[in-house]
Each structure stands twice: as structure tokens, then as C-alpha cells.
Amino acid sequence: MKKNILCIIALFLSAAVNAEDTAMSESQTDTTSAKVAETQQDSTVFTPLEVNYDSLKAFAEDENRYQAALKKFNDCDTTITIEDSRNLYYGFTYRTDYSTSADRCHEAEDMKKKGKMKKALKLTQNALKKSPVCMSLIEDCFYLQMAVDSTKKEELDKLKYQYNLLMVTVLQTGTGKDADNGIKLNWVGDEYAVLRFIRVNGLKKQSLVYGERTICDKMDVVIDGKDLSIYFDITRYFEEMNKLFSDLK
């Protein structure tokens, strides 16, 4: 399988993160973002990681299988595979705990504004227990833990491991070059986690666009002074949003 350049960079950054305690994605070179921009503009084709939602739904509804994979994830079991990670992340949208708004903990954000970091951390940890594969919540927990007590290396290492595993997984699901090849994500907040991870310098515009069978957020960004667009496939997110609104009628 030829990998997406974003996935290659994710693997590179993951290795760097494992050696760095103070950040989720500290790269060892300033050229990483430039490589993203350069490769997004060529016509390289890669075989994406398959995301079959029918199979993922069956997996999510099989409690024994889902809990076994989740235990591996929570235990940072080194035998966990990209396929396990894919099943957990995308399958979660079929779990009863899935919420389209779970990527933000508003109470925690209020506590952060008031400087109450311990309370913000506790609230975010509780939110993460309900949505254990949400990358933006994992990221928030990491930085809040750093602010509250940076000596808890075991907890910080666990968060970094989970974050990097999920990041490498999602970046294999699409090139992000257009609406039919978007990077598949469960939450809007995870879009911003990806943008931070690949060292986007600025977001110029965000717009909703449609592919042949997809709904995507198109992000017009700047990376190392170069303009490019990255597409995030959030079709499943909108399917669940539509169900929510239908239930309210």
C-alpha cells in the first residue's frame, strides 16, 4: 500500500512525540509542513485504508469485540493494529455514547478561562471516558495534565500513544485533496487536531462542499507560506446530525 504523505508525516511526528514530553506533535525538522504542501499538489495515488461502515456498524454492535479492542487501546497494548484503531474510531459513531458535540467540553473551557485547570482537567477526563477515541479531547487532556502536573509521565505517555495511533489511522483514510478523497473524521474538533498536527500556519477559509457521495469540510490553509486545501470527510457526522434533528421533529 502506498501511503498518503500525511500518514507518512504522522508516522514521523509520532516517533518524535514519543521522545518529547512537552508536546503532542513536536517535529524534528521545519520542512515537515512544506512536504505536506508539496505532495498535496502532485498526482500521487495511494490506496486508502478501507472504511466500510456496514462492517464497522456490525463491529460496534458486537459488544465483546468492541470492548476487547477498547481494552487494548486503553491499556496501550502494543499488539493493537491500525485495523483495531480504525474499527474503534469509526465504529464509535454507531455506539450509543456517540455525540456530534462530544469534541468540546464547554464546562471545561469555562474553567480554563477562570484559571481553574484542575477542574478543567477533571471535566475533560470525564468527557473523554464517554468518547475515548476523540482526538481533540485526548489533546485537551494532555495539555491540561501538563499544566496541572507534568510529572505524571505514565498518564502523559498513554495520551500521546492513543493520540498518535488515532492520528496515523485517520490520515490513511484519504488524501484530503478533494471532496471524493477526504480524510474521514468523526468530529469537527478532530479536523482542527489534524491541522495542528501537520503544522498548518493559518486557516483562511472553511466551507462545506459535496462530493459524489460525501459531505466534506474544505479547509483553505497556509503551510510554510503555501496555500492549499485539505478536505475532511464528515459524512457520518452529518448522518448522525440528521438523525438528531429528525428525532426532534
Cα 55 to chain centroid distance, Å, stands at 21
Q: What whole-number percentage of the chain has pLDDT above 90? A: 72
Distance CA 24, CA 139 (A): 7
Give the DSSP letter string of 96-145. Answer: TT--TTTT--HHHHHHHHTT-HHHHHHHHHHHHHHSTT-HHHHHHHHHHH
Q: Between the CA of residue 156 and those of 23, 62, 83, 208, what are the distances in Å?
A: 10, 30, 24, 35
| pLDDT tens digits, 27-65 | 433 444 555 555 455 545 568 899 999 999 999 999 999
Distance CA 94, CA 10 (A): 26
Q: How wide is the angle at C-alpha 107 spanned by C-alphas 101 and 108, nearest 5°?
A: 95
Question: Which regions in the chain score pLDDT beneath 50?
Answer: 1, 16-20, 26-32, 39, 43
Global pTM value: 0.86
For residues 144 and 121, the answer to whether their CB atoms sit within 8 Å is yes
- pLDDT of the residue at 27: 43
Average pLDDT, the chain: 86
The C-alpha cell of 84 is what? 483495531
- pLDDT of the residue at 47: 81
- pLDDT of the residue at 15: 53
The C-alpha cell of 49 is what? 485504508
| pLDDT tens digits, 140-163 | 999 999 999 999 999 999 999 999
Distance CA 196, CA 198 (A): 6
**Domain residues of the chain, as ranges?**
5-248
Minimal CA–CA distance to 140: which of 93, 185, 91, 189?
A: 189
- pLDDT of the residue at 173: 95
For residues 234 and 170, the answer to whether their CB atoms sit within 8 Å is no
